[in-house]
Structure 1
Amino acid sequence: MRLTFDEDVEKFRAEFAAFLDENLPPEAEATERSRSSAHIPEWARRWQRLLFDEGWLLPGNPPEFGGRGATLLQQYVHLEELSRRGIHRSFNPQGLGIIAASLLSFGTEEQKLKWAVPILRAEITAALGMSEPGAGSDLAGLRTRADLVDGEYVVNGQKVWTSGAHDADVLLTFVRTDPDAPKHKGISVLLIPTDTPGVTRRPFGSIASSEELDFNEVFLTDVRVPAGNIIGEPHQGWNVATGSLGHERTMLWMGFAEQLENLTGQFRPVTELDRDRFATLVMDARALRLMGSAALARAARGEQDVAALSVLKVFGSEAVQTALGHALDAAGTEALDHPARTVPYNHMSSEAFSAGWFERYARSFGGTIAGGTSEIQRNIIAERVLGLPRS
């Protein structure tokens, strides 16, 4: 395998690197941090708008949507350069990577201009209303209902684990519009402004932190939404859902590879067992990078390999969790320390506030859930790779 890129791709990388060198916000300007995944400080809004205007936000998009028509490999080195420097394009990742992407894929031209562009330009932020108390990884089990009455949808139900909802301006909300249809049918998608009467958002803590609030439970009580806010065709929300998660999974493995590679420089093996675990960490990091590069090469040739993304998702998320668990063991009681919240070498990183080993390990469980749980990914691998019958 030749892990190099053609001259045009490296030229693209160099152009982007020069842009970052010239335009990265100074640390003194970027002191305010994001308080949730749908809160963007004003300096970060300016940064995201600059990326959009210069075509560096989502370079694969056309210019009117924050890009420059980049090839897949050019998009990869763009993300690689951001990852290498620890820079985030947006502090509203689900708005950028899932919701705006879904609007561009399934929305009307009017919806793209009214909702997608403001999200991409950080003028508004968005949250994803998908999971429910009785329908987490099983979207088809959702019960939130939307009835069409006089040109409006009247929505009643509840969402949970809705990251950043208390700071978001809009919710991309999955609802049941045909209760008589089979489970996977009869689902639609509505874009609901959070200031609509009847929308109640309640943030709550997590195992990682009871103080830093991002998760929300959202209650929808007789919420009236214009019929024009439906995304895609009525009762075809399952297609939007699979497309939404597809946007999230495409290069998700890169983040796991970066975490593993960073851990190789932070893990301090002492005992023989620690050294064995460190060797596994190094091999996992290299294996994930190689497998991901192979999948990328196939995608660049136009080959569709959904199962490969599932393999990368399971392996990457669980390798990170295992490595953090071993680091937790090696640190002993010191792993329970909560270091002072300080800004490290790069103030643009989402990890700009350092965390103790326990908090990092606790957060790793989210990696095995977001973008499709490990259990669901294993079902896909069983059916599409191993050829096992559907359960």
Structure 2
Amino acid sequence: MQLRFDDDVEAFRAEFVAFLDANLPGVEETTERPTSTAHMPAWARRWQRLQFDNGWLLPGNPPEYGGRNATLLQQFVHLEELGKRHIYHSFNPQGLGIIAASLLTFGTEEQKRRWAVPILKAEITAALGMSEPGAGSDLAGLRTRAVLDGDHFVVNGQKIWTSGAHDADILLTFVRTDPDAPKHRGISVLVIPTDLPGITRRPFGSIIGADDLDFNEVFFDDVRVPAENLIGQLNKGWHVANGSLGHERTMLWLGFADRLDELVADVRPATPLERDRYATLAMDAQALRLLGSAALARAARGEEDVASISVLKLFGSEAVRTASRHALLAQGSAGLARDGHSRPFEHMNLDWFFASWFDRYAHSFSGTIAGGTSEIQRTIVAERVLGLPRV
């Protein structure tokens, strides 16, 4: 296996590193902290816009959408350099990585101009309205209704776990538009501005604490949404959903690998048992990067390999959860001290919200849920890798 890149990719990396060295915001500029994944202080908006204007926000995009038509391998080293510095290119990750990407894939030219570009430029923020109280991993079970009434849809229902909804300007919302169709059909996707009458957003705490207000429940009570806000075709929202989750899973393993490397460095083994655990974590980190590199090479050759992405997602998320636990134990009682908000900017990626090692450990469980649960990934692996029959 060739674990190095060609000269053009390394030149691309060097250009990006030079941009980061010259333009990263300093500590004195970043005193205002984001309070949710859709809340962006002025400095965070300036940082994202600077990347957009220079083609470094999403390098794989064309220039008009914040990129430079980068190859897959160039996109990889871009993310790798961000990971090395523990920084994030956007503090509205679902807006950038899922919603804007979905709009660019499925939206009309007017919809791209109206919503995708402002999200990319950090002029507005967005949240994803998928999960419901009775439809979490099973999106096809959603019951939020949208009934066409003239040139508007009338929306009624509820969403939950909607990260950043109370700070977002728009919601990319999955609704049922044909209740008589089979579960996977009859779903449509609407962009719903959060200032429309009839929308109620209620943030609530998480396992990290009551003051960790990112999750929301969102209620729709006869919300009238212009029909022109329909993304893709009517009743074809399942196709959009698969594309949205595909955007979320793209090179997701690299984030797990970066986190695993960081956690392994924070485990300080003392006893023989701890040294054994440490060795296992170190091997997991190496294995994840090797498996990921092989999957990346296949993708660069144009080979589609959904199963390997599931393997990487499953292995990476669960390895990070295990590593987080061992890192917490290695800290002893100090791991419960809530002093994380004193970390300087170079460590202020989305971990910015975590004030203790326990917070990090508790949040590590989300990696086994977001982007497709471990149970779903195991089903995919069983069917597509092992060839087991569907049950």
Is TM > 0.5 for Structure 1 vs Structure 2? yes
2:278 alignment partner in structure 1: 278
CA–CA separation in structure 1 for the residues paired with 2:3 and 2:34: 36
Q: What residue ranges of structure 2 are gaps of 5+ in the alignment?
A: none
CA–CA separation in structure 1 for the residues paired with 2:329 and 2:262: 18
CA–CA separation in structure 1 for the residues paired with 2:50 and 2:378: 40
Counterpart amino acid of 1:49?
R
What TM-score, normalized by structure 1, do the two folds share? Answer: 0.98
**Which string of whole-angstrom CA distances, capped at 9 and with x for unpartnered residues, describes residues 337-383 of structure 1?**
32252023616533246632221110011100111111111111111
2:370 alignment partner in structure 1: 370
CA–CA separation in structure 2 for the residues paired with 1:354 and 1:162: 19
| Contact kept in structure 1, 2:354 and 2:360, CA below 8 Å | no
| Contact kept in structure 1, 2:35 and 2:353, CA below 8 Å | no
| Contact kept in structure 1, 2:27 and 2:344, CA below 8 Å | no
CA–CA separation in structure 2 for the residues paired with 1:210 and 1:270: 35
Q: Shift of residue 265 of structure 1?
A: 1.3
2:94 alignment partner in structure 1: 94
CA–CA separation in structure 2 for the residues paired with 1:208 and 1:192: 29
Counterpart amino acid of 1:119?
I
Q: Shift of residue 27 of structure 1?
A: 1.6
CA–CA separation in structure 2 for the residues paired with 1:133 and 1:352: 28
Q: Secondary structure at the match of 2:231?
A: coil
Q: Shift of residue 328 of structure 1?
A: 3.0
| Contact kept in structure 1, 2:288 and 2:315, CA below 8 Å | yes
Counterpart amino acid of 2:164?
G
CA–CA separation in structure 2 for the residues paired with 1:20 and 1:345: 13
2:190 alignment partner in structure 1: 190
**Which string of whole-angstrom CA distances, capped at 9 and with x for unpartnered residues, describes residues 209-229 of structure 1?**
211200000000000001100
Does the C-alpha gap of structure 1 residues 82 and 35 become closer, same or farther in structure 2, counting only changes over 3 Å? Answer: same
- Give identity over the alignment, percent: 73
Alignment of 1:164 with 2:164, yes or no, is yes
**Which string of whole-angstrom CA distances, capped at 9 and with x for unpartnered residues, describes residues 53-83 of structure 1?**
1111000000111001000000000111111
Does the C-alpha gap of structure 1 residues 301 and 257 become closer, same or farther in structure 2, counting only changes over 3 Å? Answer: same
Alignment of 1:70 with 2:84, yes or no, is no
CA–CA separation in structure 1 for the residues paired with 2:344 and 2:62: 35
Q: Shift of residue 26 of structure 1?
A: 1.8
Counterpart amino acid of 2:227?
A
CA–CA separation in structure 2 for the residues paired with 1:324 and 1:330: 10
Q: Shift of residue 270 of structure 1?
A: 1.6
CA–CA separation in structure 2 for the residues paired with 1:333 and 1:14: 42
CA–CA separation in structure 1 for the residues paired with 2:16 and 2:279: 34
| Contact kept in structure 2, 1:344 and 1:353, CA below 8 Å | no
| Contact kept in structure 2, 1:346 and 1:352, CA below 8 Å | no
2:174 alignment partner in structure 1: 174
**Which string of whole-angstrom CA distances, capped at 9 and with x for unpartnered residues, describes residues 266-297 of structure 1?**
11112111111100110000000000000000
| Contact kept in structure 2, 1:342 and 1:353, CA below 8 Å | no
What TM-score, normalized by structure 2, do the two folds share? Answer: 0.98
Q: Shift of residue 332 of structure 1?
A: 4.0
Equivalent positions of 1:227-242 (< 5 A) are 227-242=227-242
1:148 alignment partner in structure 2: 148
CA–CA separation in structure 2 for the residues paired with 1:167 and 1:386: 43
1:16 alignment partner in structure 2: 16
Q: Secondary structure at the match of 1:205?
A: coil
**Which string of whole-angstrom CA distances, capped at 9 and with x for unpartnered residues, describes residues 109-141 of structure 1?**
000000000000000000000000000000000
Q: Secondary structure at the match of 1:166?
A: coil
1:308 alignment partner in structure 2: 308
Does the C-alpha gap of structure 1 residues 135 and 354 become closer, same or farther in structure 2, counting only changes over 3 Å? Answer: closer
Give the root-mean-square deviation of aligned CA atoms. Answer: 1.2
1:357 alignment partner in structure 2: 357
Q: Secondary structure at the match of 2:325?
A: helix
CA–CA separation in structure 2 for the residues paired with 1:32 and 1:286: 36
How many residues of Structure 1 are paired with residues of Structure 2 in the alignment? 391
Equivalent positions of 1:1-391 (< 5 A) are 1-339=1-339, 341-344=341-344, 346=346, 348-352=348-352, 355-391=355-391
Counterpart amino acid of 1:52?
F
Q: What residue ranges of structure 1 are gaps of 5+ in the alignment?
A: none
CA–CA separation in structure 2 for the residues paired with 1:386 and 1:339: 46
Counterpart amino acid of 1:377?
Q
CA–CA separation in structure 2 for the residues paired with 1:55 and 1:168: 24
Larger displacement relative to structure 2 (320-329 or 167-176): 320-329
CA–CA separation in structure 2 for the residues paired with 1:216 and 1:340: 24
| Contact kept in structure 2, 1:344 and 1:352, CA below 8 Å | no
CA–CA separation in structure 2 for the residues paired with 1:335 and 1:239: 43
Q: Shift of residue 239 of structure 1?
A: 0.5
Q: Secondary structure at the match of 1:341?
A: helix
**Which string of whole-angstrom CA distances, capped at 9 and with x for unpartnered residues, describes residues 231-268 of structure 1?**
00000000000100000101110111011101121111
Q: Secondary structure at the match of 1:22?
A: helix
